[in-house]
Amino acid sequence: MDKIGIIGLGYVGLPLLWTFHQVGEKVIGFDVDPEKINSINAGKTYIKHFKDEQIQDLSSSDLCEVTTDFSRLDEPDAILICVPTPLDHHREPDMTYVEETAKTISEYLRKGQLVVLESTTYPGTSDELMKDILEKGSGLKAGVDFFIAYSPEREDPGNPDFNTKSIPKVVGASTEKARELAVELYSKALDKVVPVSSAKVAESAKLLENIFRSVNIALVNEMKLVMDAMDIDIHEVIDAAATKPFGFMKFTPGPGLGGHCIPIDPFYLTWKAREFGLNTRFIELAGEVNNAMPQFVVDKTMLALNEKGKALNGSKVLILGIAYKPNVDDMRESPSFSVMDKLKALGAEVSFYDPWIPVIPSSREHMQWKGLESVDWTKDSISEFDAAIIVTDHRDVDYSELLNWCDCIVDSRNVYPGNREEYKGRVFKA
Ligand SMILES: NC(=O)c1ccc[n+]([C@@H]2O[C@H](COP(=O)([O-])OP(=O)(O)OC[C@H]3O[C@@H](n4cnc5c(N)ncnc54)[C@H](O)[C@@H]3O)[C@@H](O)[C@H]2O)c1
């Protein structure tokens, strides 16, 4: 394979492009967003944990090109698709990005090309939806003229222990030839490739991974509510249980689910299962429990303020962290917004501090917060707040300063573990 094409240069596609480029492969990146293309060409990153120097590796290289010109899709021998797969307003799979991309590819598809979908999706997307569109648009036959595979992305942005190269890559395809080509492709750049017998197995494996997380997080969240009512420290309970060397895996409770994956992907299976007359009760129950967590945090904030003789209505409340997880600048599906919406609806004056997100950008879901700027991290600024709620525990925040500056801290992340004397009357677990 002489050249590898990657469509969708976001959190998944950009590191993938870089990883193939790092091993000397010729790469071409495609995106509909000209700002991303301009940014790469200018050597500037648009993803905070992906460094300018990495972008400059790409922009200064003869082996890499990025473009919005999709007519060049006939150049690469393999095309990897990394476009969004969100839910629509009815919380059903929104396949428009995958469909549009497949249509565009079909216009330029040529014999011998391998097309691999990487976006998280329901079983059958590659071999039914995508295959149909590619065959109809191109007049070519899958498995004979061109080849289809599915390989789920397991990117964990901001995780220092794993990267695209070191995370084992599952690859599924329904024909021997497609599987061989896909394994050969990924083996060029990744440490371990795990072939499976079909695209559907690979699609389902990805969903299982994320459903497993969603269900287990819901379990510890439910456990937290019960422990809280019994005045037992859930974190001490979990740490004690985690000393069992087999049959237990540690999950941590929090203010609710966030990110582009765990709150969304499980519902792709729910939707597809309906076609087979099946309900996915675990998935829905986990969703219900996890979705109730922001309200628990708000209730705890009301109780904490009450202890200070204050009402939430009219109080100044600071949200610490609006990214969906620590040390990233990604705020998609972040539970912070749910907490903020509820606080605002109850009359609180809401501000935020996030060292990773200086200003809330425009997004489909959170328009009422667009343009709001992170407050300054100074004693004067922080001590003005009646309460501070830790929703995301970024590493580069000085929590001992916060403890000195604010006398009503609602801690949903166990930043202040245990029951130390200096927390009394200042730190409220949520
Ligand atoms: N972010 C993660 O950590 C993560 C992890 C595992 C799997 N995934 C999955 O990977 C897929 C991509 O996620 P992401 O986080 O990289 O999304 P993203 O929004 O960061 O990036 C998607 C990119 O695709 C581009 N795009 C949209 N429509 C396009 C089109 N028609 N043609 C070309 N480009 C188009 C967008 O401009 C954007 O740059 C999703 O299915 C997601 O569920 C994401």
Architecture of the domain spanning 289-429: 3-Layer(aba) Sandwich (3.40)
Residue 363: is its pLDDT beyond 90?
no
The pLDDT value given to residue 1? 82
Output the CA torsion 265→241→238→420 (10° steps).
Answer: -170
Summarize pLDDT for 293-302 with one digit per residue, the tens: 999 999 999 9
| CA of residue 312 to ligand 1 center, whole Å | 38
Residue 49: is its pLDDT beyond 90?
no
Residue 364: is its pLDDT beyond 80?
no
The pLDDT value given to residue 365? 78
Can you read off the two tokens belonging to residue 219? 């379990």
DSSP letter at 243 equals T
Over range 73-100, report the average pLDDT: 96
Please tell me if the CB atom of residue 119 comes closer than 6 angstroms to any atom of ligand 1. yes
Catalytic residues: 261
Helix extents (H) in 13-51: 13-22, 34-41
| CA of residue 8 to ligand 1 center, whole Å | 6
| CA of residue 82 to ligand 1 center, whole Å | 5
- As to burial, measured by CB atoms within 10 angstroms (0-12 exposed, 13-18 middle, 19+ buried), residue 273 is middle
Summarize pLDDT for 170-184 with one digit per residue, the tens: 999 989 999 999 999
CATH number of 3-204: 3.40.50.720
Ligand 1, atom 24: closest residue by C-alpha:
8
80 strand-pairing partners: 6, 116
Using alpha carbons only, give the angle 361, 362, 364 rounded to the nearest 5 degrees: 135
How far apart CA 142 and CA 111 sit, in angstroms, is 10
User: Ligand 1 atom closest to Cα of 330?
Assistant: 1
Residue 312: is its pLDDT beyond 90?
yes
0.85 surpassed by pTM: yes
Rounded percentage of the chain residues whose pLDDT exceeds 90: 93
CA 271 centroid distance within chain:
20
The pLDDT value given to residue 160? 84
Summarize pLDDT for 189-225 with one digit per residue, the tens: 999 999 999 999 999 999 999 999 999 999 999 999 9
Residue 164: is its pLDDT beyond 90?
no
Ligand 1, atom 26: closest residue by C-alpha:
8
Mean pLDDT, all residues of the chain: 96
Buried/exposed code over 180-216 (b: 16+ C-beta within 10 A; e: otherwise): ebbbebbeebbeebebbebbbbbbbbbbebbbebbbe
Helix extents (H) in 109-198: 131-138, 176-187
Per 3-state DSSP, the chain is made up of helix, strand and coil in percentages (nearest 5) of: 40, 15, 45
The pLDDT value given to residue 157? 77
Angstrom CA distances, 74 to 110, 115, 140, 275, 318, stand at 6, 11, 14, 36, 51
Best mutation site among 6, 7, 11 for ligand 1, i.e. most ligand atoms within 8 A of its Cβ?
11
| CA of residue 174 to ligand 1 center, whole Å | 24
| CA of residue 80 to ligand 1 center, whole Å | 11
Please tell me if the CB atom of residue 33 comes closer than 6 angstroms to any atom of ligand 1. yes
User: Ligand 1 atom closest to Cα of 121?
Assistant: 41
Residue 126: is its pLDDT beyond 80?
yes
Please tell me if the CB atom of residue 15 comes closer than 6 angstroms to any atom of ligand 1. no
Over range 139-165, report the average pLDDT: 92
Please tell me if the CB atom of residue 10 comes closer than 6 angstroms to any atom of ligand 1. yes
Is there a contact between 208 and 238 (Cβ–Cβ < 8 Å)?
no
Please tell me if the CB atom of residue 83 comes closer than 6 angstroms to any atom of ligand 1. yes
Please tell me if the CB atom of residue 13 comes closer than 6 angstroms to any atom of ligand 1. yes
| CA of residue 38 to ligand 1 center, whole Å | 18
Please tell me if the CB atom of residue 30 comes closer than 6 angstroms to any atom of ligand 1. yes
Please tell me if the CB atom of residue 40 comes closer than 6 angstroms to any atom of ligand 1. no
Over range 301-318, report the average pLDDT: 98
Residue 83: is its pLDDT beyond 80?
yes
Residue 97: name the closest of 69, 73, 67, 133 by CA.
Answer: 133
Best mutation site among 153, 203, 267 for ligand 1, i.e. most ligand atoms within 8 A of its Cβ?
153
Residues carrying CATH 3.40.50.720, the chain = 3-204, 289-429
Rounded percentage of the chain residues whose pLDDT exceeds 70: 100
Element (DSSP H or E) covering residue 58? helix 52-59
Can you read off the two tokens belonging to residue 291? 């979705």
The pLDDT value given to residue 18? 96
Summarize pLDDT for 232-268 with one digit per residue, the tens: 999 999 999 999 999 999 999 999 999 989 999 999 9
